[in-house]
Amino acid sequence: MALLDTKVTTVNGVVGGARGKRLRRGTISWRGIPFAAPPVAHRRFRAPEPVHDWPGVRDCTKLAKAAIQEKRFTAVAPGKFAPMAEDCLTLNVFSPEVESSRPRPVMVFIHGGAFILGTAATPLYDAAFLARAQDVVVVTIQYRFGPFGFLDLSQFATDDRPFDTNAGLRDQIAALRWVQENIAAFGGDPDNVTVFGESAGGSSVLALLSAPEATGLFHHAIAQSPAPELVVEQDEATVYADEFVRILRDPQRRNTSMERTEDPIDPAEAQRLLTTPNPALLLEAGNRLMRFATKSSGGAIPFAPVVDGDVLPRSPLAAATEGLTVPVPLVIGSNKDEGKLFAKLWNVLPDSERMLMRVEDEEVRREIAAQYGNGDRDRIRLAGDSIFWAPMTAFADGHSKVAPTYVYRYDYRTKVLDATGFGATHATELFTVFGAYRAPMGAGLAIADWPGTRRVTENVQGRWGAFARTGDPGLGWPVYTTDERKVLVINDPDRVVADPDTLRRQAWYRVHAPSGA
């Protein structure tokens, strides 16, 4: 059979990729393709602009720079880190190297990281295995996050220096537009695009389902462990932006109140501070703003899609509840032990007591607490349920009214994950989605039970691939309805359960139920 050429002509110029070797044999990858102009200088805090054309063949055999973040989050190997820059709006394309008689389905992946970290260079997101196993074209994208991507600075805008809301979300939309314009040249089908993401990437998928501007740019969606309520409302966004600029002005500033009692900041002064040539100053101010939000807003994260009335007219959960999400088939789910990762490695989830205090109705609060009475284990579960599972279920309830929806719970854990106390925690499903157990980084986790891990990997990849091809994840996974609430429990083997954890769901439903329900 004929092989694809490693040189592909895009709208902006020719890109040169590389054929996979060893474990990745049979694939081609093109890495570090720019999909927008560098968001630097006057483009900082602005919507992405079209990329400039280039002459000759652009070398796309190496991953591009990660977005600005703490260095430790950019590890790509022991002691090795991806370089960082504001010029980070690139994507990677992975494809089987054999030509196909028909265009291949396209899967566009959005990485996670709580909207404050992450990079497509992370080895876990190497999509060669998925592309080869499912005969699909996979695109992994980068976007701005933290203060660079999710601050609403519009209160400081002038005619000479405008600012755009939701730059990071607009980056994702720009990447999807690039796919529409270019993916056919890589053998992909622009009329069959599935957007998928995990954690903040899953939340991004829900935001895209709620963003009118994204309509028509994708045809199926997969949201893995989204945090549907990880959004910033407009009043909060105004306070966070104001505090961010005050921190830039006074790095030693101490403040724990969301109340604004100080004199307004002059836009000219704000613009001077925001256009600092040193992005490290903005990163440090963003870290300080995180601490401010933790103290003043009960553990809230200040960087997330902003309900701006423009690109995101309403929160994803509100859009789903009101039947206003983009009506495309959806796979959505969470992992059985979501909270354990955070309890062990990264204490970013609010504690259970703080989460309960967010529930205003005392009777509902008591009803929820009654479902979590088994010590530390249940306190971790409560935190995970409150961020991921409970609002995810509420989103599925809403979206299932407008399009076929398939809900899963990922229960599979290897013996190593069990022995180390992680279980089926946050992000572990990514190893099966991307086939990373075959690679050195995942092999150690499956060393004690490779046959079962291989079966689950083939099952998950097969279902994700089938969904990308047809909008249906395959036999044995029924459509989710609020009448039956059938959920696929992914394990070795998987099974279907009707309304798992009924009492917990009913308790949380009183928090997320539509008004008047």
Residues designated as active site: 199, 338, 426
Q: Which residue has the tokens 């590890």?
A: 75
Burial of 305 (0-12, 13-18, 19+ CB in 10 A): buried
Longest dimension (CA), the chain: 71
Q: Which residue has the tokens 């959920």?
A: 487
Question: Please, how many CA atoms are within 13 Å of residue 257, restricted to the half-sphere of its CB?
Answer: 4
Which of 388, 456, 379 is CA-nearest to residue 417?
456
Tokens at 129, concatenated: 């295995």
* Alpha helices in 370-501, H assignment, sequence order: 375-384, 390-399, 415-419, 429-433, 440-443, 450-470
Cβ count near 55 (within 10 Å) = 7
Which of 347, 346, 490, 343 is CA-nearest to residue 413?
490
Question: Please, how many CA atoms are within 13 Å of residue 129, restricted to the half-sphere of its CB?
Answer: 23
CA distance 214 to 363: 40
Q: Phi and psi at residue 181, in whole multiples of 5°?
A: -85, -25
Which residues lie closer than 8 Å to 71 by C-beta, 6 or more apart? 81, 84
Q: Are 179 and 103 in contact (CB under 8 A)?
A: no
Q: Phi and psi at residue 475, in whole multiples of 5°?
A: -60, 145
Which of 380, 425, 470 is CA-nearest to residue 198?
425
Which of 470, 463, 451, 371 is CA-nearest to residue 410?
463
Please report, to the nearest 10 degrees, the dihedral formed by the alpha carbons of residues 111, 116, 119, 123 taken in order.
-80
Which of 402, 198, 390 is CA-nearest to residue 320?
402
CA distance 413 to 106: 28
Q: What is the 3-state secondary structure (H, E, C) of 4-28?
A: CCCEEEECCEEEECEECCHHHCCEE
* Alpha helices in 124-215, H assignment, sequence order: 128-134, 146-149, 167-182, 200-209
Which of 8, 264, 262, 75 is CA-nearest to residue 155?
264
Burial of 489 (0-12, 13-18, 19+ CB in 10 A): middle
